[in-house]
Amino acid sequence: MPRLVFTMIVVALTVVVGGELATVRGQALSGEYRIGVLEPVTGPLAFEGKRHMEGLEIVRDLINERGGVMGKKLVFTVADATDPTAAASEANRLITREGVKIITGTFSSRLCGAASEVAARHNVIYWESSCVDPRFNKRGLKHVYRTEIDATGFGWYNVEFIAKHLAPRLNLRPNQIKIAFLSEDSSYGQGVTESARQRAKTEFGMQEVMLEYYNWQTLNDMTPTILKMKQLNPDIVHHISFSNDGVLFWRQAKEQNFLFKALVHAGATGYGGSDFGKALGNDANGVFALLEPGPGFRLEALKPEGQAIEKAFRDAVQKRTGTYPFGAHQLAGSGLWLLKLVLDRSQSDDPEKFRAAVMSLDLPVGSMINGWGVKFSELGQNANERVQHYMLQWQDGQLVTVWPEEFSTLRAKWIPLGAWDQRK
Amino acid sequence: MLLGGIYALISVGLTLIFGIMRVVNFAHGEFLMLGMYLAFWAFVVFTADPYFVVFVAIPLFFVVGLVVYGLVMRGVIHASHNVQIFTTVGLSTVLQNVALVAWSGDFRFVRPWHLSTVLRAGSTIFNLTQVVASLIAVTLTLALVAFMKWTHAGRVMRATAQDRDAATLMGIDTDRVYRLTFAIGIAAVGAAGVLVAPLYSVYPTAGLQFVLLSYVVVVLGGLGDMLGAMLGSLIVAAVEVAGSYLFGAAWKEIFYFILFILVLVFRPAGLFGQRGAETLGV
């Protein structure tokens, strides 16, 4: 008899505990909740758009393994936003024909403005996970949100790194640094560059020796710019590149034997994309790019909940792509995970209830994927100081995390950059 | 000057098609892109140097040109310019998206041993790959000029360009002339794609960065004038480089488009074209 009672208790416990675990890991979800996803999956921006889609799909699956959103399985209706016109018309279609109440996307500063305007006109929630155009959240659109840092934040971090990490290692005071600003001319490039220029000049008194913008889509030769730079002899080149312009500059700088002490970029494009390393191999060594975390990132530096989701995310990306997450995966993934946190709290896609939930979220740095925290401003912008960013450096064909040092096991090298053939 | 050589290489096929067929081929950049992908895959799969691949590319793209002419261009060759433009823009979109689906939007790179090789002349530094591309551009242009001037096929092509109806009355098979013209033009741009692949990233919309500039070159040089296209290329490159150096990279297009507008206003046949040729299409 006692054995029978013991057996029954064990069986009952197994059922209860197993059931509880099932509700956490594979909860029986009641129906589907559909959101609109706008990404450029064809056309000239597709190289990043497709990676964003990958990041979104990976985190969607993680979310559905963890109870979905509002108790429902999260599903996507995907629309192709190849350019601003398509972004606007597809946003309109998602709302009027597909009936979605939330749209997320679009990664590019070229697209997010047009798409979010349409969403705002229909009183639909627009949840941007990437574009960094500083004007995005300054248009008075109440239900438009951005989870990623804006371009002014990129500029702030870059100058912080130059003034506080590079300058001492170059045996220079910040106001002795000669800096050349070069950038592609989209709102992303201009936003980062202008905020960096302002902080470099007003806060640190750095000496700006050059400012030049260009259109990356029609750029075939950077030799004239490089020859001009050689004459100006900057210590730091602050270059915001968008795609192959980074490869072109670096390759032609080597050809022309243009020597300077460091190059600093921001964002997952250009120097921050994996293509840069593929194109140049070890010749890429030494370039800095402000990004989401890469190899060398210390999980232990995060809060326990941040460690758990960051690890699950990394493992899922590794399983699907065979690589460490790229910036596009990380931006899209963290944005979608944050959307889940908000919907879990609001339990509604009513714009007012959703907004109340967004504003009530207050998570410190280290709580989320990428080690980010959450605190939205009234403008719908996640606070730059909570969206922790990291300086990565190309080292032997890989972008690795080197700063802030408390988040990294690896350290920056080649400060200053030596001769081109010495960066091994 | 070396940059001009690359522009000439890309433009020579366009000016041939433009001048003889009077078709504005908006898919020109996409054939360049296909040439770049050929160089990339040949390098990845067979470790084949682009200088070798170019000899494969010329006949291969000649056949591609014949096929595309038969399937797409023949039907619109006598249609209005609007129909031709819509057709070639459509072809451009199709080729871009086929490349995107087949090879993804990733940037690819061809890195032959000579990519980082530089030649020095005093304080001036030249990239070897650019030098070779420019030399081939000059050779190809001169070969095409000789072909047009001294061969029977060339004379027939020029006659067709001057007056299609008269050429037909003289017994010239104009359809065959257009087919040959299109195939030669595509072979030239395919070869150009292979040669520039080491210098630029390879991706589905890689052709877009050159195609607009090619039109400027062709109009500057004079429609259908291959030597003119070469000189036009050098002028555009010189204006671009000088503008970038003196005023900044953002200004480079402004200067060559001002030049383009001035030429259209004062010499619509192009800087080196025959006066009145624009109405004949030669």
Give how far the C-alpha of residue A69 lies from the chain's centroid of Cα atoms, to the nearest Å. 23
A418 interfacial to chain B (CB closer than 8 Å):
no
Cβ within 8 Å, pair B249-A243:
no
Based on the domain organization, do A157 and A205 belong to the same domain? yes
Asked, for residue A8, whether it belongs to a domain, the answer is no
Q: What is the pLDDT of residues A124-145, one digit of tens each?
A: 999 999 888 888 989 999 999 9
Pick the residue from chain B with its C-alpha nearest to A50: B105
Based on the domain organization, do A87 and A169 belong to the same domain? no
Residue A282 to residue A265: CA distance in whole angstroms = 18
B261: which residues sit within 8 A by CB, 6+ positions away? none
Closest CA to B25 of B100, B92, B93, B80: B92
B 76-95 → A contacts, CB under 8 A: none
Cβ within 8 Å, pair A244-B200:
yes
Based on the domain organization, do A286 and A195 belong to the same domain? yes
Based on the domain organization, do A228 and A87 belong to the same domain? no
Residue A81 to residue A90: CA distance in whole angstroms = 7
B274 interfacial to chain A (CB closer than 8 Å):
no
Give how far the C-alpha of residue A305 lies from the chain's centroid of Cα atoms, to the nearest Å. 20
Asked, for residue A282, whether it belongs to a domain, the answer is yes
Residue listed under structure tokens 């010329």? B58
Asked, for residue A411, whether it belongs to a domain, the answer is yes
Asked, for residue A202, whether it belongs to a domain, the answer is yes
A 219-258 → B contacts, CB under 8 A: 219-225, 227-228, 243-244, 247-248, 251-252, 254-257
A 91-150 → B contacts, CB under 8 A: none
Output the six-digit token pair for B225: 């004038």
Pick the residue from chain B with its C-alpha nearest to A221: B3
The confidence score (pLDDT) of residue A21 equals 44
On chain A, the residues whose CB falls within 8 A of the CB of B201 are 243-244, 247, 275, 279
Based on the domain organization, do A288 and A268 belong to the same domain? yes
Task: List, for chain A, all residue ranges whose pLDDT scores fall below the cut of 70.
Answer: 1-28
Nearest-by-Cβ selection for A47 from B3, B107, B241: B107
- Structural domain including A407 reads 152-292+390-422
Residue A125: strand pairing partners? A102
Asked, for residue A191, whether it belongs to a domain, the answer is yes
Based on the domain organization, do A95 and A137 belong to the same domain? yes
The confidence score (pLDDT) of residue A19 equals 44
A151: which residues sit within 8 A by CB, 6+ positions away? A109, A132, A133, A134, A187, A188, A190, A191, A192, A195
Could you tell me where the DSSP H helices lie in B115-207? 128-150, 152-162, 164-169, 174-196
Q: CA-based diameter of chain A, in Å?
A: 94
Asked, for residue A415, whether it belongs to a domain, the answer is yes
Residue B282 to residue B274: CA distance in whole angstroms = 8
B250 interfacial to chain A (CB closer than 8 Å):
yes
DSSP code string of A60-125: HHHHHHTTTBTTBEEEEEEEE--SHHHHHHHHHHHHHTS--SEEEE---HHHHHHHHHHHHHTT-E
A42 interfacial to chain B (CB closer than 8 Å):
yes
The confidence score (pLDDT) of residue A317 equals 95
User: Beta strands of A176-327 (E only): which ranges?
Assistant: 178-184, 207-214, 236-240, 262-266, 288-291
Which run of H or E residues covers position B120? strand B118-121
The confidence score (pLDDT) of residue A3 equals 59
Cβ within 8 Å, pair A185-B212:
no
The confidence score (pLDDT) of residue A9 equals 57
Based on the domain organization, do A162 and A261 belong to the same domain? yes
Based on the domain organization, do A286 and A410 belong to the same domain? yes
B121: which residues sit within 8 A by CB, 6+ positions away? none
Residue A144 to residue A380: CA distance in whole angstroms = 6
Asked, for residue A27, whether it belongs to a domain, the answer is no
Based on the domain organization, do A316 and A411 belong to the same domain? no
Nearest CA distance, B203 vs chain A (angstrom): 9
Based on the domain organization, do A405 and A273 belong to the same domain? yes
**CATH code, A107:** 3.40.50.2300
What's the domain count of chain A?
2
Residue B224 to residue B274: CA distance in whole angstroms = 11
Based on the domain organization, do A220 and A202 belong to the same domain? yes
Task: List, for chain B, all residue ranges whose pLDDT scores fall below the cut of 70.
Answer: 1, 273-282
Based on the domain organization, do A287 and A179 belong to the same domain? yes
Asked, for residue A367, whether it belongs to a domain, the answer is yes
The confidence score (pLDDT) of residue A232 equals 95
The confidence score (pLDDT) of residue B236 equals 85
